[in-house]
Amino acid sequence: MDKKVRVRFAPSPTGYMHVGNFRTALYTYLFAKKTGGEFLLRIEDTDKNRFVENSIENIITLLEWSGLIYSEGVFVNPKSKISNSKQNPNSEMTNSTSYPDLVEIGNFGPYIQSERLDSYKEYAQKLIENGTAYYCFCTEQDLEAMRNEQIANKQAPMYNRSCLKLSTEEIQQKIAAGEKYVIRQKINTEGFTKYTDLIRGEIEFKNELLDDQILMKSDGYPTYNFANVVDDHLMSISHVLRGEEYVSSTPKYIQLYQNFGWDVPEFAHLPLLLNPDKTKLSKRQGDVAVEDYIKKGYLKEAIINFVVLLGWNIGDGSTQEVFSLAELEQVFDLKRVHKAGAVFDLKKLDWLNAQYIKKLSVDELYEKSLEFFAQKDFYNNAAPDVKTETYLKKVLQIEQERLNNLSEVGENNQFFFAPIAYDKVMLNWKDMLPEALQESLQKSIETLSGIAEENWELKNIEEKLFAVAGDKKGDLLWPLRVALSGAQKSPSPMELAWVLGKTESLQRLQNALER
């Protein structure tokens, strides 16, 4: 009964990937997966002023990184230097005419709006011909004056349709004279426009309150409002998933579909992401770009898991909260998406990230951590023998359960990478008498010396040390731990000794003893 599900993610190339945008992409992708539909990427670059260099490539790279695979639309050209992708090479590719590093795949292209300008002109013309759109020659100054007057008179600011009165001759004259113009939608002001939102239910608007919005700008580019409708129809989009901010312009889009005689797609308006103070999530109150969180060392699994929970839950009495992308593809349901906005609260992201870090193998953790080590001074200044793969993996093994994000690697355990100073810390060694302290350190040295290099394993070290420690473990372990770390807080002395190795451990103990 229903036609095939085809959904799209349609970002504008204005810079970074906003987390709210990313969530829209995620939900759209999951919806497609769950329903066996198609997911495609379209680029909405109709605002030349807001265009940011390389943002299309960033969007594509980010989608690929996150695993939100689309089968159709815009891709990075595999031949280009910046390509790091392995996209399906089957269907025929078309080089993008305006972006040398991009390529388009699919039967509904082009998928970049700036390459579809002729099409918008053609369809705008059709509306003019059937009387549901008209030329408008008002200047921005005209419009502003009009708006100010309306506001002063406590009227709702709306276009006053003065250009609707123009005769065909007048219009032709003006165009011939080279006057700038836009094309406006002629709203049907009778009655109501109603639609059923998949998330919000029935929503109704009084048509007389709708403005004659601009369809084609004077620079020949379409507005979002127009390009979106034309493309969604031409690309056979079945469901439109987008942010809540579009709820109130949807009736205008519906009239557009009707004016063309096209089927109206289903709409689902997603709740907004909020700042802690409940205003719309903004840059001013923290990081909003997915890239920022990647840089901070959050894993994609955690980001996806966190973001999907902001406005959706599995329901069915289940309390499951940790989901892989693959799982989500099975269980996601638009019906379980919330209506209310959700505060973007990082505490839970930290927790989720820690969960996913714990699941990593040491090898994986090592691979992912290298770039973060490379950003640390304490690491870059360290001796070569503490930068080896073997050594770093030991460090990471100990740190794994203490990490909230990867950018913290080594941060709290810098004593693994540099010699330590004892002065202050020594004084803080509990209330032990100097003699007892000496004795403890001696005992540690003896014990550790007794372990052969080839038996320098964590289990062994623990066994030996515990055996010697007896009842009052603290008396032995506390001084040992501080001697090895120079810190009040650290991993256990056994772990420290294991990572540092026999030679270095004994050296540090010796130093502590002699100071």
Partner RNA sequence: GGCCUCAUCGUCUAGCGGCUAGGACGCCAGGUUCUCAUCCUGGUAACAGGGGUUCGAUUCCCCUUGAGGCUACCA
Residues 464-493 that bind RNA (CB under 7 A): 466, 473-474, 477-478, 481, 488-493
- Listed residue (328, 330, 343) closest to 273, CA to CA: 343
Look up 283 and say whether it is catalytic.
yes
Least distance from RNA to the Cβ atom of residue 446, Å: 18
Instruction: Mark the segment that binds RNA (CB under 7 A) among 162-170, 242-250, 378-386, 506-514.
Output: 242-250
The identity of residue 68, as a single letter, is L
- State which of residues 1, 81, 153, 154 lies at the interface with RNA (CB under 7 A): 154
Q: Which is nearer to RNA, 11 or 106 (CB)?
A: 11
Which range of residues in 39-47, 92-100, 101-109, 169-177 is near RNA by CB under 7 A?
A: 39-47
To RNA, the closest distance from the beta carbon of 313 in angstroms equals: 4
Q: Which of 48, 79, 206, 283 is catalytic?
A: 283
CB of 154 to RNA, least distance (A): 5
Residue 280 gets which letter from DSSP? B
**Contacts of range 395-402, beta carbons closer than 8 Å, 24 or more positions apart:** 395/499, 396/362, 396/365, 396/366, 396/369, 397/362, 398/491, 398/495, 398/499, 399/491, 400/357, 400/358, 400/360, 400/362, 400/365, 401/358, 402/491
C-alpha span between 386 and 399 (Å, rounded): 15
Q: Which of residues 65-94 bind RNA (CB under 7 A)?
A: none
Helix (H) or strand (E) holding 197: strand 192-197
Cis peptide bond upstream of 13, omega within 30: no
Of residues 367 through 426, those in contact with RNA by CB under 7 A are 401-402
Residue range at the interface with RNA (CB under 7 A); choices 96-104, 245-253, 420-428, 436-444: 245-253
Helix (H, G, I), strand (E, B), or coil: what is residue 257? Answer: helix
Q: Is 249 in the site for RNA (CB under 7 A)?
A: yes
211 binds RNA (CB under 7 A): yes
Using CB under 7 A as the binding rule, whether residue 305 contacts RNA is answered as no
Q: Is 157 in the site for RNA (CB under 7 A)?
A: yes
Is 228:272 a contact under the CB 8 Å cutoff?
A: no
Compute the least distance from the CB of residue 15 to RNA, in Å.
12
56 token code pair: 């299309």
User: Using CB under 7 A, which residues numbered 6 to 35 contact RNA?
Assistant: 10, 12
Q: Residue 382 carries which DSSP code?
A: S
Does 311 help bind RNA (rule: CB under 7 A)? yes
x/- mask, RNA, residues 341-360, rule CB under 7 A, reads xxx-x-xx-xx--xx--x--
Closer of 85 and 501 to RNA (Cβ): 501
- Smallest CA-to-CA distance from 146 within 161, 134, 135 is with 161
Choice from 57, 72, 115, 244 touching RNA (CB under 7 A): 244
Torsion angle defined by CA atoms of residues 252, 253, 255 and 261, in that order, rounded to the nearest 10 degrees: 170
Residue of 32, 40, 41, 46 interacting with RNA (CB under 7 A): 46
Minimum CB separation from RNA for residue 278, in Å? 4
Of 77, 76, 60, nearest to 25 by C-alpha is 60
- Decide if residue 98 touches RNA (CB under 7 A): no
Pair of tokens at residue 278: 């409940």
Q: Closest CB to RNA among 87 and 492?
A: 492
Cα 177 to Cα 174, 180, 379: the distances in Å are: 5, 9, 69
Q: Which stretch binds RNA (CB under 7 A): 33-41, 205-213, 296-304, 380-388?
A: 205-213
Query: Smallest distance from the beta carbon of 79 to RNA, in angstroms?
Result: 29
Residues near RNA (CB under 7 A), total: 86
Nearest distance from C-beta of residue 271 to RNA, angstroms: 7
Distance CA 23, CA 309 (A): 10
So which residues are the catalytic ones? Answer: 283
